[in-house]
Amino acid sequence: MSQIKFENVGLKYGEKVVTEGMNFEIQQGEIFVLVGPSGGGKTSTLKMINALVIPTDGYVYFEDKKIRDYDLQQLRLKIGYVLQQIALFPNMTVKQNIELIPELIGWDKEKCRERSQALLDKVGLPAEKYAGRFPRELSGGEQQRIGILRAIAAEPDLILMDEPFSALDPISRTALQDLILDIHAEFGTTIVFVTHDMNEAMKLGDRIAVVADGEIAQLGTPDELKNHPATDFVKSFFGAANFDQLTLKSLIEELELDREADPVWNKADVTAPIEQVYQELSQNESLAIYEGENFLGNIDRATVFRILAKK
């Protein structure tokens, strides 16, 4: 059953087109991932679901009702929201942060306490040890766990997640991806997840929408997109997810570095893993490549993606 529907949705800021002609549905109970380079329209698309951004064209529906026809406070209380910037209230304890939304919608104190305790125990942060702590006393990974628990505490109909793990170290990131899959398996809540990391999209998504330049380049299951890419862009984006053992140095002869140009602001060492380079180029158009202190030249996003697509 469709829970969210985009019908000819477009968004403009003056003359700038952010998204246009978006038509898709998100089914109840699925993990739906929006993936693509930074600036392509992913976050704006996500924010139109809870009316943080209002489309200039078309309609967004939630549970068969136009978003614009909802009382915004009531709508947002039905939707959990997790950001990259861990937005815990610093003067509230862990327990108070988790119980905030349940209290707002009228749960009694005992039900709130039972819920927060059960959730903390579920994610390996025992309530007797963590409930009374403040956010400043937690690691980044622990803070993001609490952010996720706060988003699901009131049993929302939908959870929106906007690049929630991109600022974390690889170990914390993997652990939290696994946590999302565990939570989804247990509660079956619909999750809309934004990322620029194709590996993360493939791990989490039941279906994936590849977003570029304000449009959906392709929508399908991970296998469909990987095995039957609709465009060269989709092919390059998915091809770049298959480079586990590659380093930048292993591709250096194929990269056609621009050795004459001045170094760009963003840089990488020639010994860097391709995964790291790919992450950087998902957010930046080009990188300056160094060997130690020696500038070797600049590489651009399109060249790297094209080479990786052949691997």
Percentage with pLDDT > 90 across the chain: 56
Residue 247 pLDDT class (50, 70, 90 cuts): low
248-310: CATH superfamily: CBS-domain (3.10.580.10)
- For the ranges 40-54, 76-90, 196-210, which has the lowest average pLDDT? 76-90
Instruction: Report the mean per-residue pLDDT for the chain.
Output: 87
Count Cβ atoms within 10 A of the Cβ of residue 106 and give its class: 0-12 exposed, 13-18 middle, 19 or more buried.
exposed
Task: Indicate where the chain has its CATH 3.10.580.10 domain(s).
Answer: 248-310
Task: Indicate where the chain has its CATH 3.40.50.300 domain(s).
Answer: 2-240
The whole-angstrom separation of Cα 286 and Cα 165 is: 23
Residue 300 pLDDT class (50, 70, 90 cuts): confident
> What does the pLDDT look like over 129-144, one tens digit per residue?
999 999 999 998 899 9
Predicted local distance difference test score (pLDDT) of residue 191:
97
| Run of H or E residues at 173 | helix 170-187
Q: pTM of the full predicted structure?
A: 0.78
Contact 222, 196 (CB under 8 A): no
The whole-angstrom separation of Cα 112 and Cα 153 is: 9
Residue 207 pLDDT class (50, 70, 90 cuts): very high
Q: Any alpha helices (H) in 138-169, and if so which ranges?
A: 140-152
Q: Between residues 296 and 117, which one has the greater pLDDT?
A: 117
2-240: CATH, from 3.40.50.300, 3.40.190.10, 3.20.20.410, 3.40.50.280: 3.40.50.300
The whole-angstrom separation of Cα 47 and Cα 58 is: 15
Predicted local distance difference test score (pLDDT) of residue 198:
84
Q: Between residues 173 and 210, which one has the greater pLDDT?
A: 210
